[in-house]
Chain A
């Protein structure tokens, strides 16, 4: 007896069982959608609000740390305004460096 004569063959009405199975699985949400590689932008709030908040936080936090370091060193060395003034632009630069690290176009491996 050949394979495709006896009885109603399920594959005759809908040729591919695998295709139907995968359609049903995806309909039920059983198959995970294919993973796409996450960039930092995707992970950390992709909305404009999220990006805006992130830019603000990164810039200001670097500045705060720089001012704190400058102020502290001034306090130690009794050079009151000078080191704070030196560290403020450095803090701004560090903020830009933070932003660059977040929003820079990705290299092949994580930097």
Chain B
């Protein structure tokens, strides 16, 4: 995981996919990324199921976590999308917790961050994009296309602006997926690079110990920062999903 050989940093090797679960996994291309997705899903279900089992009036810690999560996403949906947001709550809830657990699990050692692969974030984004477009068509029918025509513009400019609006609409796919992917990948590359620095500096003997210790401190701070980014990016993804769904339901 750290420096390969003596003085080269293999910062991207950590993102390589390997088959998990031995020969069975290898034969169906079940990678550690898929394994982490399953782990995240099981943990989310476990949190909700075990957490909500007591059904206590005064919740314990797990139940409070589950209830807070539910409340948080529900209010996010209703505040952002409007009263119709209730319909999209299950989708946004699943999306948020899947990404949150993926991001946060990735901070732990030996675990893989599946959100650091653009294919994963792109698939999630396409899901959001297609869903919001389908919702827009179902709510408004062909009137949906008026979304691409900003109100109050000279008619001569409309061909130009429609093209720009269409490009801007499709650019959501890229911006949403790249934002999550880049944040997660950049953080882990930074951790890897500083981790390799520690080993290299430690190799210098006495002279290197102080800088190595400083780098270790920096890496510790970075891990805290990484936790912040993990939660923040899951939140950003969820709130942008809500904003897109709001646009789909209300058109502008």
Is residue A82 contacting chain B, with contact meaning CB distance below 8 A? no
The reply to whether B167 and A58 form a contact with Cβ atoms under 8 Å apart is: no
**Cβ-defined contact, A95 with B171, below 8 A:** yes
Question: Does A93 touch B at the CB level, under 8 Å?
Answer: yes
- The distance in angstroms between the C-alpha atoms of A64 and B178, with both chains bound, is 12
Chain A 63-98 per-residue mask, 1 if CB under 8 angstroms from chain B, else 0: 011100100000000000000000100110111011
For A54, the chain B residues whose CB sits under 8 A away are 179
A: number of interface residues (CB 8 Å):
25
> Quick one: CB contact mask for B143-176 with A, threshold 8 Å, 1 for yes?
0000000000000000010011101101111110
By secondary structure, the A interface counts as helix
Nearest residue, chain B, Cβ from A96 = B164
Residues of B within 8 A of A111 (CB): 252
**Residue of B whose beta carbon sits closest to that of A95:** B171
Q: Is the C-beta of B239 less than 8 angstroms from some C-beta in chain A?
A: yes
Considering the complex, give the chain A residue whose CB is closest to the CB of B232. A45
CB of A24 closer than 8 Å to a CB of B: no
- Chain B, residue nearest A91 (CB): B167
Task: Answer whether residue B52 sits at the interface, using C-beta atoms and an 8 A cutoff.
Answer: no
Q: Any chain A CB within 8 A of the CB of B246?
A: yes
By the criterion CB–CB under 8 Å, are A65 and B182 in contact?
no
Q: Roughly how many angstroms separate A110 CA and B163 CA in the complex, as a whole number?
A: 23
Q: How far is the CA of A52 from the CA of B160 in the complex (A)?
A: 28
B interface residues, how many (CB within 8 angstroms): 22
Q: Are A98 and B168 in contact (CB under 8 A)?
A: yes
A43 at the interface (CB under 8 A from B): yes
A66-B167, A110-B246 are contacts. A61–B174 as well, Cβ < 8 Å?
yes
B239 pairs with A62, CB closer than 8 A: no
Question: Which residues 43-62 of A have a CB within 8 angstroms of B?
Answer: 43-45, 53-54, 57-58, 60-62
Chain B nearest CB: distance from A57 CB in Å?
Answer: 5
A62 contact set on B, CB distance < 8 A: 167-168, 171, 174-175
Does B38 have its Cβ within 8 Å of any Cβ on chain A? no
Chain B residues with Cβ under 8 A from A65's Cβ?
A: 167, 170-171, 173-174
On whether the beta carbons of B171 and A53 are closer than 8 Å, the reply is no
> A65-B174, A110-B246, A111-B252 given as contacts; is B168 within 8 A of A53 (CB)?
no
- A61: which B residues are within 8 A, CB to CB? 171-175, 178
Tell me how far the C-beta of A68 lies from the nearest C-beta in chain B, rounded to whole angstroms: 9
For the complex formed, measure the closest distance between the CB of B245 and the CB atoms of chain A, giving whole angstroms.
13
Residues of B within 8 A of A69 (CB): 167, 170
| Cβ-defined contact, B164 with A90, below 8 A | yes
Binding site for B on A (CB under 8 A): 43-45, 53-54, 57-58, 60-62, 64-66, 69, 87, 90-91, 93-95, 97-98, 101, 110-111
**Chain B residues with a Cβ under 8 A of chain A:** 160, 163-165, 167-168, 170-175, 178-179, 182-183, 232, 236, 239-240, 246, 252
- 15 A-B pairs, CB-CB below 8 angstroms? A43-B236, A53-B179, A53-B183, A57-B174, A64-B174, A65-B170, A69-B167, A90-B163, A94-B164, A94-B165, A94-B168, A94-B171, A95-B168, A97-B165, A98-B171
Instruction: Given contact pairs A60-B174, A97-B168, A101-B168, enumerate 6 new A-B contacts (beta carbons under 8 Å).
Output: A57-B175, A61-B178, A65-B167, A66-B167, A87-B167, A98-B168
> Top 10 A-B pairs ranked by shortest CB distance?
A61-B174, A94-B167, A61-B175, A62-B171, A94-B168, A61-B171, A65-B171, A65-B170, A94-B164, A57-B175
